Amino acid sequence: MKRHIAKLLLVLLIILGFGAVRAIAEEAANVCIDCHSNLDAPLKVTGEEFGASIHAQKGLTCTACHGGNATDAELAMSPKAGFKGKPSRQQIPELCGKCHSDAAYVRQYNPSLRTDQLSQYHTSIHGKRLAIGDTKVAVCTDCHGIHDIRPPSDTRSSVHPLNVANTCKRCHADADYMKSYGIKTDQFAGYSESVHHAAMVERGDLSAPTCTTCHGNHGAAPPGVASVANVCSTCHVFQAQLFDESPHKAAFANMGFPGCVTCHSNHRIKPPSDSMLAGKDAVCTNCHTEGDAGSTTAQNFYSGILNLQASITRSEGILNRAADEGVEVGQAQLELTQARDALTKARVTIHSLQPEKVKADLDAGTKVTDKTYAAGTKAMQESRFRRVGLLVSLGAILFTVVALGLYIREREKNGGNSTH
């Protein structure tokens, strides 16, 4: 009886085993790849390349985009099997959008994946120009790749935040390619030298913007003059609020100047410094002239900031010296942080252009530096006092030692006499 069961089980196992092997063989059989992996570029498509794509990983094959029959070499590229060939550039957005705009379809795979890429794309300069027959603009595959498409979260994806700028650069930094449009081709060069590029690429801060953060991923229209300040303000909230309160808000709008980028530029944003307020690198003097209200205010901001900076340095100096001499000044050194914070705040508050507001920040800082400098002075006095005290006690000790020595000598002299 037991033997029969064992035999039955064995047969079952063999059947199941064959089934599994057959299934694997069927899955692996892709006549398109068999043939195309041996062709020369641009017809070469390997199993390795396609296997790395999200589409292959989700079980799609060549026929999902090209039609045809992937299991029968005879029928593979036959129109009878629905083979569509290579889509033209103008067909590509609709081809990708066929699946990606279909919410019901996408939900089966990934409920959180957006389905607005195609509709957004139609609103972008790229999409609008493609619609009127300009095939040099970016289509889906220019940004995402063709057969090796990966999710944006994959660091190897051409649309991962760290790689986006290089993806846009291919066309936008190519002066030859862009010649007919008469637009600048320095965006990548500028961005590469910006605070944002430094934050993202050098410090790995993915919250810093890359091209598509400002321009949109699919609705890749440049922000218009009116929305420029809005782009920056999504992240730099304080500066934006202060700018909105400033007289520049209305003045710039009247003159057709954008907000933030008038002083900071859009792509080549440099680390800001006090020298933007006065001197040869000042941005204020681009519009204001010596003696007008704007220029005077700029000059006052500049000297106010420099004064506070100097007071902080002075306090730091005396507190460090006191600490070196062993006087406890930890509390004052900690308090000095508040002055540094006030200085940082003043550098932000200048965006309001309101002298009283900036003065309030500077005064708060000066109050702290006055207090900490006084603490430093007191500490140095204490140190001096201690030194004098030490000298006095050293003197006293020396005096005692000498006196004692003399006394002993005297005693010895007298004692020597007495033993005789």
Residues 147-186 that bind ligand HEC (CB under 6 A): 147, 149, 151-152, 159, 161, 164-165, 167-168, 170-172, 181, 183-184
- Using the contact rule CB under 6 A, the part of the chain among 9-17, 295-303, 306-314, 391-399 near ligand HEC is 295-303
CB of residue 336 vs ligand HEC: minimum separation in angstroms?
A: 18
In angstroms, what is the minimal distance from the CB of 204 to ligand HEC? Answer: 11
Query: Who contacts 125 (Cβ-Cβ below 8 Å, separation ≥6)?
Result: 137, 220, 221, 222
**Are the CB atoms for 291 and 297 separated by under 8 Å?**
no
Among 8, 24, 29, 235, binds ligand HEC (CB under 6 A): 235
199 binds ligand HEC (CB under 6 A): yes
- Binding flags for ligand HEC, 256-285, as an x/- string (CB under 6 A): -xxxxxxxx-xx-x-xxxx-xx-----xx-
Task: State the nearest-atom distance from the C-beta of 38 to ligand HEC, in Å.
Answer: 8
Least distance (Å) between residue 9 CB and ligand HEC: 39
Q: Specify the stretch interacting with ligand HEC by CB under 6 A; choose among 90-98, 317-325, 388-396, 401-409.
A: 90-98
CA angle 153, 154, 159 (to 5 degrees): 70
Site for ligand HEC in 393-412 (CB under 6 A): none
Distance between CA atoms of residues 174 and 390, nearest Å:
75
Binding pattern for the stretch 319-358 against ligand HEC, x by CB under 6 A and - elsewhere? -------------------------x--xx-xx-x-----
53 backbone dihedrals φ, ψ, rounded to 5°? -80, 155
Separation between Cα atoms, residue 336 and residue 332, nearest integer Å: 6
Tell me if 362 contacts ligand HEC by CB under 6 A: no
Q: Does 247 bind ligand HEC (CB under 6 A)?
A: yes
User: How many other CB atoms are found less than 10 A from the CB of residue 248?
Assistant: 20
**Interface pick for ligand HEC out of 215, 318, 327, 376 (rule CB under 6 A):** 215
Return the SS3 of 214. helix
Task: Using DSSP, state whether 324 is helix, strand or coil.
Answer: helix
Q: Among 130, 148, 219, 231, which residue sits at the site for ligand HEC (rule: CB under 6 A)? A: 231
In the list 52, 123, 195, 325, the residue contacting ligand HEC (rule: CB under 6 A) is 195
Q: With binding defined as CB under 6 A, does residue 375 bind ligand HEC?
A: no
Q: Name the one residue in this structure whose structure tokens are 């440099």.
A: 270
| Count of residues touching ligand HEC (by CB under 6 A) | 144
Residue 308 touches ligand HEC, criterion: CB under 6 A: no
417 binds ligand HEC (CB under 6 A): no
Q: Per-residue x/- marks for ligand HEC, 95-124, CB under 6 A?
A: xxxxxx--------xx--xx--xx--x---
Among 130, 229, 318, 342, binds ligand HEC (CB under 6 A): 229
Specify the amino acid at residue 227. Answer: S
Q: Which of 137, 329 has the CB closer to ligand HEC?
A: 137
Q: Which two tokens stand for residue 228?
A: 């420029």
Per CB under 6 A, which region of 213-221, 361-369, 389-397, 402-410 contacts ligand HEC? 213-221
Residues 5-64 that bind ligand HEC (CB under 6 A): 31-33, 35-36, 39, 42-43, 45, 50, 54-55, 58, 60, 62-64
The counts of H helices and E strands in the chain are 22, 0
Residues 276, 281, 285, CA angle at the centre, nearest 5°?
75
Query: H helices of 325-354, where?
Result: 330-349
List the structure tokens of 265: 């530029």
Q: Say how far apart CA 27 and CA 15 lie, in whole Å.
A: 18
Measured N-to-C along each axis, helices 355-419 and 293-324 cross at an angle, to the nearest 10 degrees, of: 20
Shortest Cβ distance from residue 73 to ligand HEC (Å)? 5
Closest of 99, 64, 55 to residue 82, by C-alpha: 64
Give me the least distance between CB of 360 and ligand HEC, in Å please.
Answer: 16
Q: What is the CA radius of gyration of the chain?
A: 38
C-alpha distances (whole Å) from 273 to each of 19, 176, 267 are: 71, 36, 17
CA-wise closest residue to 306 among 352, 348, 336, 274 = 274
Complex with ligand HEC: residue 305 or 339, whichever CB lies closer: 305
Q: Does 419 bind ligand HEC (CB under 6 A)?
A: no
C-alpha to C-alpha distance for 214 and 220, rounded to whole angstroms: 9
